[in-house]
Amino acid sequence: MSAEQSGEAENPPIRRLTDWDTGRLRELASEHGTPLYVTDPERVAENCARLRAAFPDADVKYAVKAHTGRAVLETVREAGLDAECASAGEVRRALDAGFSGDRVDYTAVNPPARDLDAVVDWWGDHPDLTVTVGARDTLDRLAERGYDGRVCVRVNPGVGAGHHEKVRTGAAPKFGVPYDRAADVVADAREQFDVVGLHAHAGSGIHGEEDLAAHRDLVARMGELAREIGDDDIEFVDVGGGFGVPYREDDPALDIRAVADATREALGDVAATLAVEPGRYVVADAGVLLTEVNTVKPTPEVTVAGVDAGMTDLLRPAMYDAYHAIRNLDREPGADASADTGPVTVAGPICETGDTFCDGRELPIPERGDLLAVGNAGAYGYEMASTYNSRPRPAEVRLASDVLRARETLAGVTRLEHGGRDE
């Protein structure tokens, strides 16, 4: 076996749900209760290393919105990735996790006044942070606040891709200045700001050939624009991230090296540094959601497995019709239980028809008390959790057992109604 093959064996391109240790997951559920997010920062570090190997000459920035937990952010920082932040809150969390200002980009999308106020205030202590703007209006609002620092101009290249229409950003008018006006916006911005880069993003969950073709098209357009405005006058061309992971058990893993090669080729000859900003790819397979079956209801068509997790804990299936692999940890080969299979609907406790993790999927027929694991929950899992139906948010623990985020209580949910104040 070659050294490269050995490295791939030690750091496979995807961790499937079946790769998680059943005994360890059971121990964590028993110790901490359910619903429970389990996160493995060591896997985060492995994913960062694979990205850096694929893009050795690029600036790899982690899209913080995928998972903002302190342990994840510190792991990403230590692995050498920078931080791309979609809100002032994410900027603050990145700085608190030890990122220096020169490693933080704030991608402002229709930013609220309080966000701009906060970021400009922090800029005083971190003058090397970068603000990415997608509208002339945002440039004006920054100038009004006395900001004259580093700016990156976000461009709408008219090319979108991704796993669902709601996350295809590259052609949506909400994102970026129109491509044919970008050069003028850059020229005007240079009169007041230090314009250091260009930015575009096709969408989230880019995985199939059609999506990858759209990504290459976007990159090529950004290379053309960089050369038009003077690529030796900017530091970087950021072509976004959105690199997908295989959510279905039989889907192949993304060949990230091939994507990197195609990205460099599509960008063409530019003096500026290539930048990418993956999020999902870094953390998706580093997390699982554990949930316990509390109600089993046979029906003529399916067995309904009622569980204690719901769309308030993992929103993606309800919001995007997203597929997540599911394991019944108590009804697998070798488990002390039967493993008869049939169509199973895994449904949460929320009073919404959409509150299901799967509908009629062929799974082991569950019994009350069985422990289920939901895979690829590390990206946009806890981050999109809510307190709808006054349900406290779940706990998150490290695979090595220590608590990363405590389980929320009902008192925590209602504290602002009783005189509680934010820090």
- Length in residues, the chain: 423
Of residues 258, 274, 284, the one with CA closest to residue 376: 284
380 marked among binding-site residues:
yes
Asked if 188 contacts 229 with a C-beta cutoff of 8 angstroms, the reply is: no
62 marked among binding-site residues:
no
The helices-and-strands tally (H runs, E runs) of the chain is 13, 18
351 part of the active site: yes
415 marked among binding-site residues:
no
Asked if 80 contacts 55 with a C-beta cutoff of 8 angstroms, the reply is: no
One of 48, 85, 152, 351 is an active-site residue; which one? 351
Of residues 122, 90, 127, the one with CA closest to residue 107: 90
What's the CA gap between 376 and 166, in Å, rounded? 19
320 marked among binding-site residues:
yes
What's the CA gap between 182 and 229, in Å, rounded? 9
What's the CA gap between 307 and 418, in Å, rounded? 31
Q: What residues contact residue 18 under an 8 Å CB cut-off, 6+ apart?
A: 249, 327
Q: What is the 3-state secondary structure (H, E, C) of 240-260?
A: CCCECCCCCCCCCCCCHHHHH
Q: Which helix (H) or strand (E) holds 70?
A: helix 70-78
280 marked among binding-site residues:
yes
* N-to-C CA span, the chain: 54
Which residues does residue 293 pair with via DSSP β-bridges, in sequence order? 307
What's the CA gap between 303 and 296, in Å, rounded? 7
Tell me, what amino acid is at 208?
Answer: G
Binding residues: 242, 277-280, 316, 320, 352, 380
Binding residues for substrate: 280, 316, 320, 352, 380
Binding residues for pyridoxal 5'-phosphate: 242, 277-280, 380
Catalytic residue annotation: 351
